[in-house]
């Protein structure tokens, strides 16, 4: 049988294949688990989905260098088989926070790999420039092997250096708090310093937004730049350094940030004439990625619970209610599917998993802030938001001891859960998260296994569970200067040393997900399997061989791959076989291959072979 028929048969039997091959073409109609139960299950899938797309151990990242984050394994329609500085930083900020919370040694090894990879990438000359004047740090994407991408693209993109600094600072603070000050100072700080110097020098110049479409000034970019400068200054002091450029430019960045507020919502892109309304999930993402658990509901830094951002949440999410069929019949004040912006035409304009998740995450973060502060202030700015979810809401201050506070926070929690329930509804039974879901049918669309989608699920779940990141200093960085200047500070840049990490304590993995990759040219109707000497690999019985997937197969890299969970320390022999459409089996030539699963903290490993 052909590959398509073969995959469908495996899907029917319940096999979970790589790249979301079992994603259904229509809405699921089976009964789904209660939301809490589903979130717990999906969170594990999301973490696995992230790790599958990273570096030399990822199950779906064949061709990626160590520490490199692929945006998606998708190579055609669309081709996302690259690494983006922005996406990678957001993903690793999520993983750093996961590591700090769980102390998972495997995650720490991934973080160390990421730091080493970024030390190399900062030095790669590219179409945006080089490290000598910092311009090359704003190059949006690179090849999977860490070399420059030289094709046409929307460049520069100025959010990447700020986001990378934030991710590295989070890890650097952990290193300092746990006795690894030399690692933080000698290896993390030089990387962070380059990025901070870039932000201070170039923050006031236009560039492409996070959707890579608009060349102007982006709310998301300015917000994360301000955060990076503030926490960068504090981190510098903690490692015995200073960042005077951070100190001089952070207030001016904050001043510029106020220009995005229209009086009723955030205009996400300014200094451009793109004909859009400015209503954009860009602003939701900006708020959640500058959330500070120690801040109050501050309009100036656009905190999730601020009147401005609650009002903006309503305006942005309401803009999608009438344009998506999947939102038909959903009442105002109930959660709806959220896309990038209402004028979107990419793939005909659809909801995105990460945008809908960001709508939920902002509300969970706001709920945390309200509970910590112990009161809710409903102002004329936020009143419409509150009345939509709690019709009897009125302006005023409601303390945590009041019944109104209880009713408001209950309504807010239910509203946030509604957005996650939409994700549940349109996530296939495999748990695979693509980039988008169809605005009419709800079927997954565009790039499969989008790393950013999976990371967004992780951060949403953390916010829902009140597992919050460390403060970045928003509470003391919210004073707008009396005079706002179009300023900058010229930076000084130097290559960071290749990092050398100490041997961190960790728990040796008992089970390792081993991914087999074999390069072999095949024809339609031929399928590749791996069979071996142990029961989990069929004990040399070809009828029990492990099927491999050709979903990443190209003429230049004819790779078949699949994963098997094996006990650490297991030794075995194996071979690849080809099954033809007539049922015949062809073995690769002798000798048998042999391997022993490593005993280490890593929970994944990858073998790369060529058919003999």
Q: Which of 518, 525, 512, 571 is nearest to 548 (CA)?
A: 518
Q: Which of 36, 34, 2, 4 is nearest to 17 (CA)?
A: 4
Please check whether residue 428 is in contact with residue 407, taking contact to mean a CB–CB distance below 8 angstroms: no
> Does the annotation count 212 as an active-site position?
yes
Distance CA 38, CA 34 (A): 6
Tell me the β-bridge partners of 505.
Answer: none
The token pair at 192 is 């962070």
For residues 337 and 327, the answer to whether their CB atoms sit within 8 Å is yes
Q: 122: Cβ–Cβ under 8 A, 6 or more apart, which residues?
A: 131, 136, 137, 191, 194, 495, 496
Do 58 and 52 form a contact (C-beta atoms < 8 A)?
A: yes
Q: What is the DSSP letter of 439?
A: T
Comparing CA positions, the residue from 417, 418, 408, 410 lying closest to residue 386 is: 408
Cα 530 to Cα 606: distance, rounded to the nearest angstrom: 14
- For residue 511, report the phi and psi dihedrals to the nearest 5 degrees: -130, 140
209 tagged catalytic: yes
Q: How far is CA 512 from CA 410, 529, 598, in A?
A: 42, 19, 8
Nearest alpha-carbon partner for 280 in 321, 317, 328, 333: 317
**CB–CB of 83/142 below 8 Å?**
yes
153 is in an annotated binding site: yes
Please choose, from the candidates 242, 388, 377, 218, the residue with its C-alpha nearest in 3D space to the C-alpha of residue 303. Answer: 377
Measured at the alpha carbon of residue 290, what is the angle toward residues 285 and 293, in degrees to the nearest 5?
120
Q: How far is CA 538 from the centre of its chain?
A: 36
- Reference 85, options 165, 152, 19, 151; nearest CA is 165
> Is 52:438 a contact under the CB 8 Å cutoff?
no
- Cα radius of gyration (the chain): 25
Q: Are strands 269-270 and 215-218 parallel, antiparallel or unpaired?
A: antiparallel
SS3 101: helix
From 104, 112, 209, 280, the catalytic residue: 209
d(CA 168, CA 145): 21
Q: Which of 212, 247, 588, 609 is catalytic?
A: 212
Give the length of the chain. 612
Q: Which of 133, 121, 124, 231 is nearest to 173 (CA)?
A: 231
Structure letter (DSSP) for residue 495: P
- Name residues whose C-beta falls within 8 Å of residue 265's C-beta, 6 or more positions apart in sequence: 278, 279, 283, 311, 312, 315, 316
Strands 604-610 and 511-519: parallel
Whether cis (ω within 30° of 0) applies to the bond prior to 326 is no
Q: Which of 258, 129, 150 lies closest to 201, judged by CA?
A: 129
375: region left, alpha or beta (phi > 0 left; psi from -120 to 50 alpha): beta
Q: Measured in Å, how far apart are the chain's first and last C-alpha atoms?
A: 23
Annotated binding site for substrate: 153
Active site residues: 209, 212
């Amino acid at each position: 049988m052909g590959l398509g028929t073969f995959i469908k048969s495996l899907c029917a039997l319940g096999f979970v294949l790589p790249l979301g091959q079992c994603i259904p073409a229509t809405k699921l109609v089976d009964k789904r688990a209660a939301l809490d139960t589903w979130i717990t299950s999906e969170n594990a899938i999301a973490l696995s989905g992230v790790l599958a797309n990273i570096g030399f151990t990822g199950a779906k990242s064949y061709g990626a260098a160590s520490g490199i984050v692929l945006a998606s394994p998708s190579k055609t329609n669309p081709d996302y088989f690259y690494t983006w500085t922005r996406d990678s930083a957001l993903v690793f900020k999520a993983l750093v926070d996961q590591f700090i919370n769980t102390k998972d040694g495997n995650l720490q090894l991934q973080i160390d790999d990421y730091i080493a990879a970024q030390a190399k990438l900062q030095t790669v000359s590219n179409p945006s420039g080089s490290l000598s004047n910092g311009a090359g740090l704003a190059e949006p994407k690179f090849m999977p092997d860490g070399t420059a991408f030289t094709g046409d693209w929307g460049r520069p993109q100025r959010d990447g250096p700020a986001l990378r600094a934030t991710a590295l600072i989070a890890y650097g603070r952990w290193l300092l708090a746990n006795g690894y000050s030399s690692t933080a100072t000698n290896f993390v700080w030089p990387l962070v310093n380059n990025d901070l110097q870039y932000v201070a020098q170039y923050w006031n110049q236009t560039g492409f937004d996070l959707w890579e479409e608009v060349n102007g000034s982006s709310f998301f970019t300015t917000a994360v730049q301000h955060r990076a400068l503030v926490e960068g200054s504090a981190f510098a002091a903690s490692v015995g350094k200073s960042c005077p450029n951070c100190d001089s430019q952070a207030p001016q960045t904050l001043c510029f940030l106020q220009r995005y507020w229209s009086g009723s919502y955030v205009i996400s892109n300014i200094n451009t004439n793109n004909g859009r309304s400015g209503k954009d999930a860009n602003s939701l993402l900006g708020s959640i990625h500058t959330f500070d658990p120690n801040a109050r509901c501050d309009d100036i830094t656009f905190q999730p619970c601020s009147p401005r951002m609650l009002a903006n949440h309503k305006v942005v999410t309401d803009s999608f209610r009438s344009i998506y069929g999947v939102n038909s019949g959903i009442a105002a004040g109930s959660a709806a599917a959220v896309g990038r912006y209402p004028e979107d035409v990419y793939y005909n304009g659809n909801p995105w998993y990460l945008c809908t998740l960001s709508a939920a995450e902002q509300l969970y973060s706001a709920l945390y802030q309200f509970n910590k502060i112990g009161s809710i202030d409903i102002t004329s700015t936020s009143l419409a938001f509150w009345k939509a979810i709690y019709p009897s809401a009125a302006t005023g201050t409601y303390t945590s001891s009041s019944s109104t506070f209880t009713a408001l926070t209950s309504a807010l929690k239910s509203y946030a859960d509604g957005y996650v329930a939409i994700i549940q509804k349109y996530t296939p039974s495999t748990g695979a998260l693509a980039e988008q879901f169809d605005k009419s049918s709800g079927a997954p669309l565009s790039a499969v296994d989008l790393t950013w989608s999976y990371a967004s699920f992780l951060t949403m779940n953390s916010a829902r569970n009140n597992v919050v990141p460390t403060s970045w200093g928003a509470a003391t960085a919210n004073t707008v200067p009396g005079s706002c200047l179009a300023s900058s500070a010229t930076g000084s840049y130097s290559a960071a040393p290749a990092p050398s990490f100490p041997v961190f304590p960790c728990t040796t993995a008992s089970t390792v997900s081993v991914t087999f990759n074999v390069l072999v040219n095949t024809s339609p109707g031929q399928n590749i399997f791996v069979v071996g000497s142990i029961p989990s690999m069929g004990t040399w019985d070809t009828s029990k061989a492990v099927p491999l997937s050709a979903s990443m197969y190209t003429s230049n890299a004819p790779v078949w791959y699949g994963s098997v969970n094996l006990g650490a320390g297991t030794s075995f022999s194996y071979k690849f076989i080809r099954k033809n459409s007539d049922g015949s089996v062809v073995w690769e030539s002798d000798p048998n291959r042999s391997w022993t699963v490593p005993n280490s903290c890593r929970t994944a490993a990858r073998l790369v072979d060529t058919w003999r």
